[in-house]
Amino acid sequence: MMAKMVAGALLLTALLAPAARAAEPVKRIDIHVQPYYQAAKKPDGRPQVAVGASLSGPLSSDRREDIVAVRDKIAADPKLITPMTLMVLAIRLYDVGLRDDAVFWFYAAKDRYITLSDVVDVGASGLAEVEAAMRAFATLAGPVINSYAFCDLAKQKALRQQALAWVEQNSYGAIFLDRMVAKPGDRADNLKASVRAARLRADKEQAYLDDAKNREAFYARRKQNGVEAQFCWK
pLDDT (tens digit, 0 to 9) for every residue of the chain, 234 residues total?
A: 455 555 555 666 766 555 445 578 999 999 999 999 999 998 889 999 999 989 999 999 999 999 999 999 999 999 999 999 999 999 999 999 999 999 999 999 999 999 999 999 999 999 999 999 999 999 999 999 999 999 999 999 999 999 999 999 999 999 999 999 999 999 999 999 999 999 999 999 999 999 999 999 999 999 999 999 999 998
Pick the closest to residue 194 from 164, 174, 173 (CA basis): 164
Element (H, E) at 175: none
Q: What does the pLDDT read at residue 142?
A: 95
The pLDDT of residue 16 is: 59
Q: What is the pLDDT of residue 35?
A: 95
d(CA 141, CA 106): 9
What pLDDT shows up at residue 234?
87
Spatial CB neighbours of 218, under 8 Å, sequence gap ≥ 6:
11, 14, 15, 150, 209
Q: What is the chain's percent helix, strand, coil content, to nearest 5?
A: 65, 5, 30
Write down the pLDDT at residue 3: 53
What are the strands of the beta sheet with 37-38, ordered from one edge? 32-33, 37-38, 48-49
Q: What is the pLDDT of residue 93?
A: 98
